Amino acid sequence: MTYVIGKECIDAKDRSCVDVCPVDCIYDGKRKNYINPAECIDCGECEVACPELAIFPLRRAKGNLEREQFAADNAAFFRESLPSRDQPLGNPGGASTAGPLGADTSFVQSFPS
């Protein structure tokens, strides 16, 4: 199980979730943060800390089209090559080692500023 960051994070990026994540699995995109599903340990600290109410457990996406789209997009951030990157990010073992990535998925890019 993993957590997902939804649309409420776009252009907000409060980063409270990053501060409380015990495994450093929340990565910094250009307009939004993303949780690496392979690195998340399902502790729920990020959901509690998020003032935007943008974070939800994957199990709460089922049957909600918007949440399902963000769940798929969140995984795609790590599986697909992002703009200005030659290879997918994959599972680098922590967001602090990757640093700010300065890129988002095409799905997130399609949202108006």
Q: Does the structure show a pLDDT above 80 at 1?
A: no
**How high is the pLDDT of residue 30?**
96
How far apart CA 85 and CA 91 sit, in angstroms, is 15
Instruction: Read off the pLDDT of residues 49-68 as tens digits, 9 standing for 90 and up.
Output: 999 999 999 999 999 999 99
Taking the alpha carbons of 23, 25, 28, 32 in that order, is the dihedral positive or negative? Answer: negative
Closest by alpha carbon to 101, among 87, 113, 84, 86? Answer: 84
Q: What are the backbone angles phi and psi of residue 35, rounded to the nearest 5°?
A: -100, 125
Q: Model pTM? A: 0.95
Instruction: Read off the pLDDT of residues 2-38 as tens digits, 9 standing for 90 and up.
Output: 999 999 999 998 899 999 999 999 999 999 999 999 9
87-94 long-range contacts, Cβ below 8 Å, gap at least 24?
89/27, 91/36, 91/38, 91/39, 93/39, 94/23, 94/24, 94/25, 94/39
| Structural domains in the chain plus CATH codes | 3-85 (3.30.70.20)
Using an 8 Å Cβ cutoff, are 16 and 47 in contact?
Answer: no
**How high is the pLDDT of residue 13?**
84
Rg (CA), the chain: 13
Q: Does the structure show a pLDDT above 80 at 47?
A: yes
